[in-house]
Structure 1
Amino acid sequence: MNEDVNVILADLVKAKNFEATTAQKAGQLGKTDEEQLTYAVSQGMTLLTHNRVDFEILAQAYFAENQEHSGIILAVRRPPQEILRRLLIIFNQVTADEMKNQLLAINCCVCRCFTCYYHNFSGKNILEFSVF
């Protein structure tokens, strides 16, 4: 998890029997976004962040340079329990192989529903689903 994500979320994810670490536990505090993504790649882990703008740019750069990553999840800032609920839906429907080289955005509107989508920078959404 990027350093802008509440560290409590990692404990909540682990309590549901999924693997998670924080930037702090990984020794990545103060590192650039690029360094944090490089670290996630080296560990084969999908990176969760609230920093949509910078990580969309990084994902586009990886795509343009034919570099591989293990996936990036962009999450709107919400309470950790709400983000966890959305992550569990993703974790239970999307495999690690399906996340590879994908940018997954968790969007939330006022009605508190959310839509997730994969984007592969070819302009085609690979998967899209909504939960209310």
Structure 2
Amino acid sequence: MSALPPRSRGVIALSEPNCTVCMLCVRECPDWCITIDSHVERVPAEGPGGRPRSVHVLDRFDIDYGLCMYCGICVEVCPFDALFWAPGTDYSAAEPEQLVHGKERLGEWLADAPSAPRDQGND
């Protein structure tokens, strides 16, 4: 088997630190194959005179590849560069429910995404 081109559409990879839970990918997906859950946390004020703020923390980011039609709309609409195409193709499953991959698996695929940031926020 020959190697796939580096920018081939295999799977969608997630850069979890970049995801702000804006839900644009969920709203724009024509197949509704993306599921996101989050919770709100209060971040203390930074410096004197600052105010505490609320941030959404990502709890769940699932893509059902049994429904996904690989259109790439989610990758294109993400304003925070949290989604990338990765050339991976080894995600077959015996049962349809095994085609749902969560944020951990999507994060693993990020290492193979050619346009993804190389620094994963592990400083």
Is the shorter-chain TM-score for this pair beyond 0.5, marking a shared fold? no
Indicate the structure with greater strand content: 2
**TM-score, normalisation: structure 2:** 0.28
| Higher RCO structure, 1 or 2 (CA under 8 Å, sep 6+) | 2
**TM-score, normalisation: structure 1:** 0.27
Greater radius of gyration (CA): 2
Indicate the structure with greater helix content: 1
